[in-house]
Structure 1
């Protein structure tokens, strides 16, 4: 590893995650950042913090392309940001570690369990950790009988998904039966889950050998049934109950590295697990600026076997643009830095090009 300037290879598709990651590391001296992505029009390529970018066409190429990039750029540190990229690196860890330092990642078997909600629920039940609300697998041998007593409203969910995509709301048993009759549904790839009203929580962690080293907690207001999109209104604080509830699960998975765990708290205060995102998350900049926890930097230091920088977890809030305007019109005078867009000004060309590519696909 070079003593003066170290080269870091990032692997990711989502440019917002890439740009957020780079923002969090922008003040750390002694590193140069390179990107491997298969998004042809990635605005991340315009970032002031990237040295170079290599584009590939399909995930199936990663096993070949990663070593090529490691050698071409003389990479010292490998850090996959996305979920699929992380799994590929985990699968080939033994080979890649001969070429550079590799970010801690959960072993492939437990990684696939953690990121498949249906498999995760089955795993947790075997561990006597009933963390999810009532579920019913569509391919269960006694599906019809169990459906008779299943609580509705419910959600028909893909076992693997992201950002709430693919979820269908079922208000009644009749709705589900009608939907299954009219649509070809992969019964192995979907399951039914009881809908729980309440607040959305993101519990973000860095783990080593299943132990939580660093974490942050953020909560957003309740959503209406049918709204499964992300929420930019966030409250950052601490919640020991969430930490202790999630700790046994992470230990059982022998979890390694970063995760964004989606949780729902019902009006009575009971906590339910929704899913594990085995990757960095969209609000990681806010985790740093509002909660005081710089996850990319902590992960980088852990990867290169250096002491983690000291920090103090703090409370804070982030406003969506809609909430900001509403408060402003109500003469409450919110601060501009409460918007998630404030850090975008630090890497303006990349953010402008992200808007441009989205507008003119």
Structure 2
């Protein structure tokens, strides 16, 4: 079995029966109205907050589809809650999740629609399914929902979301760096404008340094430099329309924090640390362990309180061995792939808790369980090829293998249709 085949199994879910044929769920694809009066509330005002929903009652959630892996991770988490019914709103006519057993129905809205038309399409889907909660899961979905929250809130409850300005600061590495510098929040030394007097600015930063794209994901595009000459040459060769920052390379270790804030209050979190080397430099770790660390929680609460945060986020931090400080590296302002690990091992199901927050329900006190999590493909590779006296004794309980057959058809479709 090769690594591509193993990756089919990574985000499988709860026990379901495997169907005999591969047939997509029929889409609900209404012809959306385009008139503005069909989009906005009748009186043009933002609707009053809806009363809390009774806990334990069945809830129908509209999930805005994202990329393949993130969508699979969130659908897996939602599938673990028996009283949640999921409908998926997609703008991808070839979505693998047409075949998903984690959803009640797949709903298609054409990708070329205007925002007003897309909202109207979602309004019709919500009416047809009696949906109550809208759950965006990636940056594009969060931005859309924040921008159109009054219109969307007229027919759906929306998970907690920050103000637009705070969201854009947290999402942009350059803006976040400036924000933290202004407030003295522990962070790497950062050069925000690499095209203005860079030679002089380099006098204020200690080498080695990292050159990072502001919009980089998963460590992509990051380069390490040990001297000024090579760095200046690399910056001079950057495309004119690109946006980069420079940060000092901190000696220490990475540690991350997952959070859900509601009205500026931390209501759920988990802290995770990598326990296996990444597949490549600056890429995410191959496996994680959930740990306690009050220093992490302190600096996370510092930056998120300063942002007046509302909603979910995944913060990358690094312990600086020289200054003995936890420093915030960046914030992922969306759901994250290891949200599966939080649900399975830390017993904090962030997508479900976000839905409960949207419904106005009480949430449990912030707490999480300790344990390790390793995606099943990584587990198999480590079992077969890992070596050394300190080999970590992962078990199947640390993976999602128990639900491997829960939702295989999207994975099979993706495998056989992707080049």
Q: Same fold judged by TM-score > 0.5?
A: yes
Match of 1:325 in 2: 384
Q: What's the CA shift string for 1:5-29, capped at 9, x where partnerless? A: 5431111322222222222222434
Judge conservation of contact 2:276–2:287 (CA < 8 Å) in 1.
no
**Residue 149 of structure 1: how far off its partner (Å):** 4.3
Tell me if structure 2 keeps the 8 A contact 1:220–1:233: yes
Please give the TM-score of this superposition, normalised by the length of structure 1: 0.88
My pick for the range that moved more, 315-324 or 170-179, is 315-324
Aligned to 1:114: 170
Greater mean deviation of Cα atoms: 26-35 or 269-278: 26-35
**Which secondary structure state, in structure 2, belongs to the residue aligned with residue 314 of structure 1?**
coil
Change in Cα spacing, 1:124 to 1:42, as seen in structure 2 (3 Å) is same
Q: 1:258 aligns with which of 293, 312, 320?
A: 312
> 1:152 Cα deviation (Å)?
1.9
Shift of 1:164: 1.6
Q: Conserved in 2, the CA contact under 8 Å of 1:91 and 1:107? A: no
Q: Which residue of 1 aligns with 2:284?
A: 230
Task: Kindly state the Cα deviation for residue 247 of structure 1 after the two structures are TM-superposed.
Answer: 0.7
Q: Secondary structure at the match of 1:231?
A: coil
Unaligned 5+ runs, structure 1 = none
- The residue correspondences of 1:192-203 to structure 2 (distance < 5 A) are 192-203=246-257
For residues 300-336 of structure 1, give each alpha carbon's deviation from its aligned partner in whole angstroms, at most 9, with x where no partner exists: 1111111225785211012433333346898986422
CA distance in 2, matches of 1:102, 1:79: 7
Alpha-carbon RMSD = 2.9
Cα gap change, 1:273/1:222 in structure 2, threshold over 3 Å: closer, same or farther? farther
Alignment of 1:163-174 (within 5 A): 163-174=218-229
The 1-side partners of 2:221 and 2:414 are apart by 24
Matches within 5 A, 1:109-188: 109-129=165-185, 131-139=186-194, 141-186=196-241
* 1:89 is aligned to 2:121: no
- After TM superposition, list the pairs within 5 Å mapping 1:261-340 onto structure 2: 261-267=315-321, 269-308=324-363, 313-319=368-374, 320-321=378-379, 322-326=381-385, 334-339=394-399
Structure 2: gaps (5+ residues): 1-49
Which structure has the bigger radius of gyration?
2
State the Cα deviation string for residues 156-197 of structure 1 (Å, max 9, x = none): 11222321223222232111122133332446x211111123
Determine if the alignment matches structure 1 residue 15 to structure 2 residue 68: yes
Deviations 1:220-279 (A, max 9, x none): 148589712121211112211100111111111110010011111234543121111111
Instruction: Label 1:143 to 1:213 Cα distance change in 2 as closer, same or farther (>3 A).
Output: same
SS at match of 1:148: helix
The 1:333/1:257 distance shift into structure 2, 3 A limit, reads closer
May I ask how many residue pairs the two structures share in their alignment?
Answer: 357
CA distance in 2 between counterparts of 1:224 and 1:302 reads 34
TM-aligned CA distance change 1:271 to 1:57, over 3 Å = farther
